[in-house]
C-alpha cells in the first residue's frame, strides 16, 4: 500500500455530531432518494452491486478531465468506490451507495463512518459499504482490496492520490482524480463531477439548487448576520503563537459568507499579501491590526487547544474576544461538516451551526 495523505486532523489544519436524520431534507428538496441496496460493511468480500434509487439519465460514454488527463466512463456505473474526502457523500446524495469508502478517523464512529453518511445510508434502507484500510485509517491506497471489489468506477476528485497511484487505479477501473490540485475542491464542483460520473447531471443540478436554497433560507431567517464582519481561524496548538486566518477562497469562509457574514478588510488585505492560498498565520502580537473584526469563529482539535487559544493573554485582549464575540468549535462532526462541506452534510451543519452563530452575534 502507498501512503497518499495525512491524518484527518492534519488535512483539516492544512486546508485549511450525532445529527438528526438529514436525508429527509434531501428527499423533500431534491426528490432523489427512495431506497437502495449497497455493499456489506467491513466484510472483506466483493459486494453484489448497488441498486440506485433512480436510473442514470445521461448518455454514455462520458468523459471527465482531471489533473492526470481524461477518463472515459463507458456506461452507467453501479459498483462505485470513493477515495479521499467527501466523494462518498456526493454519491449517496445522488442516490447510489458505494461498494467501498474511506475509513475516517477523527470524528468518525468506531467503524470509520462520519455520522451523516451513516444516517443517510441507513435511511435509504441499505447496508453500509465496506471501508477501505479500515484498520490503519492511514490514507494509504489498498490496491489489492480495491481490485477485489471489482469497481466500475473509482472516484477521487477530492484526494491526494499521486500520478503513480492514479495509473495503478486506472488499470483496475476508470478513475477520476482531482481537477487541478490535490485536496482542492468545493461542494459544488464535487457534486457536479460525481453527477457526471454517475450519469446524473440533472439530479446533481437539482441537488445544487436545493442546497443553495437552504443557505438562502437560513440567511433570510437571520438578517442580523448581514454585513457582520467575521474572521474564521484555527485555534492555537501547543507551542504556537501564530493564529491562522482563513481567506474567502476557503470553504469555511464560503460557508459563513453564504449566510450573510462578510470577511473584514484587514483579512482581505492579509489575503492579498499572503502567498499561501486559502489561509495564513499571524503572530498574536499583531492581532491589534485586525480590530475591524466583529466576531471570531474558529475550530480547534480539542478542548485544550480551545482553552489555549482563548486563554492566551494577547488573544484575550483582541477586540472580538475581549467583547465576548468568539466561538471556537471543538465537536469533530461540526468541524468536519464546516471544513469540508458537502450536499449531504450541509443541511445538518446549517441546523447545528446557525443557532450558535445567532447566539454569538446577539451577545
Least confident of 25-34, 69-78, 178-187, 287-296: 25-34
User: How many C-beta atoms surround the C-beta of residue 250 within 10 A?
Assistant: 19
pLDDT at position 277 is 82
Q: What's the average model confidence in pLDDT over 105-121?
A: 93
Model pLDDT for residues 137-191, shown as the tens digit of each residue: 455 789 999 999 999 999 999 999 999 999 999 999 999 999 999 988 899 999 9
pLDDT at position 46 is 36
Kindly tell me if the per-residue pLDDT of 230 is higher than 70. yes
Kindly tell me if the per-residue pLDDT of 24 is higher than 60. no
Rounded-to-integer distance, Cα 191 and Cα 207, Å: 8
Choose between 17 and 85: higher pLDDT.
85
**pLDDT tier at 22 (50, 70, 90 boundaries)?**
very low
**pLDDT tier at 19 (50, 70, 90 boundaries)?**
very low
Do the domains 2-210 and 222-330 sit in the same CATH topology, yes or no?
yes
DSSP state of 348: H
Kindly tell me if the per-residue pLDDT of 17 is higher than 60. no
Least confident of 7-21, 182-196, 200-214: 7-21
Model pLDDT for residues 97-106, shown as the tens digit of each residue: 999 999 988 8
pLDDT at position 9 is 55
Rounded-to-integer distance, Cα 354 and Cα 343, Å: 17
323, 299, 129, 333: which is closest to 228 by C-alpha?
A: 323
DSSP state of 6: -
What is the CATH architecture of 2-210?
Answer: 3-Layer(aba) Sandwich (3.40)
Choose between 187 and 20: higher pLDDT.
187
Model pLDDT for residues 45-97, shown as the tens digit of each residue: 333 344 344 688 899 999 999 999 999 999 999 999 999 999 999 999 999 99
Residue percentage of the chain with pLDDT more than 90: 78
pLDDT at position 140 is 76
Query: Residue 308 — φ and ψ, nearest 5°?
Result: -60, -35
Q: Where are the domains of the chain?
A: 2-210, 222-330
Q: What's the average model confidence in pLDDT over 330-336?
A: 95
Rounded-to-integer distance, Cα 247 and Cα 270, Å: 9
Query: Residue 224 — φ and ψ, nearest 5°?
Result: -65, -15
Rounded-to-integer distance, Cα 44 and Cα 130, Å: 7
Helices marked H in the chain — which ranges? Answer: 8-14, 23-30, 87-93, 115-123, 143-148, 163-172, 187-198, 201-221, 251-257, 265-273, 303-310, 313-317, 319-322, 332-339, 346-362
pLDDT at position 12 is 57
Choose between 201 and 32: higher pLDDT.
201
Scanning the structure block, which residue is given the C-alpha cell 492566551? Answer: 312
Judge whether 338 and 15 are in contact, CB under 8 Å. Answer: no
DSSP state of 222: -
User: How many C-beta atoms surround the C-beta of residue 40 within 10 A?
Assistant: 15
Choose between 6 and 306: higher pLDDT.
306
User: How many C-beta atoms surround the C-beta of residue 276 within 10 A?
Assistant: 10
Kindly tell me if the per-residue pLDDT of 357 is higher than 70. yes
CATH 3.30.1330.20 fits 222-330, yes or no: no
Return mean pLDDT, the chain.
Answer: 87
pLDDT at position 185 is 87
Q: What is the pTM of this model?
A: 0.83
Kindly tell me if the per-residue pLDDT of 239 is higher than 80. yes
Kindly tell me if the per-residue pLDDT of 34 is higher than 60. no
pLDDT at position 166 is 97
pLDDT at position 309 is 98
Q: What is the sign of the dihedral through the CA atoms of 170, 174, 178 and 180?
A: positive
Rounded-to-integer distance, Cα 247 and Cα 245, Å: 7
Least confident of 1-15, 117-131, 192-206, 262-276: 1-15
Least confident of 99-113, 121-135, 199-213, 288-302: 121-135
Amino acid at each position: 500500500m502507498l501512503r497518499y495523505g495525512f491524518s484527518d486532523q492534519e488535512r483539516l489544519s492544512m486546508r485549511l455530531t450525532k445529527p438528526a436524520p438529514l436525508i429527509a431534507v434531501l428527499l423533500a428538496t431534491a426528490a432523489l432518494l427512495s431506497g437502495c441496496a449497497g455493499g456489506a460493511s467491513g466484510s472483506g468480500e466483493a459486494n453484489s452491486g448497488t441498486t440506485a434509487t433512480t436510473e442514470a439519465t445521461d448518455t454514455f460514454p462520458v468523459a471527465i478531465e482531471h489533473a492526470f488527463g481524461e477518463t472515459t466512463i463507458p456506461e452507467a456505473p453501479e459498483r462505485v468506490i470513493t477515495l479521499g474526502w467527501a466523494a462518498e457523500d456526493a454519491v449517496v446524495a445522488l442516490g447510489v451507495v458505494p461498494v467501498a469508502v474511506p475509513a475516517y478517523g477523527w470524528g468518525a464512529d468506531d467503524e470509520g463512518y462520519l455520522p451523516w453518511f451513516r444516517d443517510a445510508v441507513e435511511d435509504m434502507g441499505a447496508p453500509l459499504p465496506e471501508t477501505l484500510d479500515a484498520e490503519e485509517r492511514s490514507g494509504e491506497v489498498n490496491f489489492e482490496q480495491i481490485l477485489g471489489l471489482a469497481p466500475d468506477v473509482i472516484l477521487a476528485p477530492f484526494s491526494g492520490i499521486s500520478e503513480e497511484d492514479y495509473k495503478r487505479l486506472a488499470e483496475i477501473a476508470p478513475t477520476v482524480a482531482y481537477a487541478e490540485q490535490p485536496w482542492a475542491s468545493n461542494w459544488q464542483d464535487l457534486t457536479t463531477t460525481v453527477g457526471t460520473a454517475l450519469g446524473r447531471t440533472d439530479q446533481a443540478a437539482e441537488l445544487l439548487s436545493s442546497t443553495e436554497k437552504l443557505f438562502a433560507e437560513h440567511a433570510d431567517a437571520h438578517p442580523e448576520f448581514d454585513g457582520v464582519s467575521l474572521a474564521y481561524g484555527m485555534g492555537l496548538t501547543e507551542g504556537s503563537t501564530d493564529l491562522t486566518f482563513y481567506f474567502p477562497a476557503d470553504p469555511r469562509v464560503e460557508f459563513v459568507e453564504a449566510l450573510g457574514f462578510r470577511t473584514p478588510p484587514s483579512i482581505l488585505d492579509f489575503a492579498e499579501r499572503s502567498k499561501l492560498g486559502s489561509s495564513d498565520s499571524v503572530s498574536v502580537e499583531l492581532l491589534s491590526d485586525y480590530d475591524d473584526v466583529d466576531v471570531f469563529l474558529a475550530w480547534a482539535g480539542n478542548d485544550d487547544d480551545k482553552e489555549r487559544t482563548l486563554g492566551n493573554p494577547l488573544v484575550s485582549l483582541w477586540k472580538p474576544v475581549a467583547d465576548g464575540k468568539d466561538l471556537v468549535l471543538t465537536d469533530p462532526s461540526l468541524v468536519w461538516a464546516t471544513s469540508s462541506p458537502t450536499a449531504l452534510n450541509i443541511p445538518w451543519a446549517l441546523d447545528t451551526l446557525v443557532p450558535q452563530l445567532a447566539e454569538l452575534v446577539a451577545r
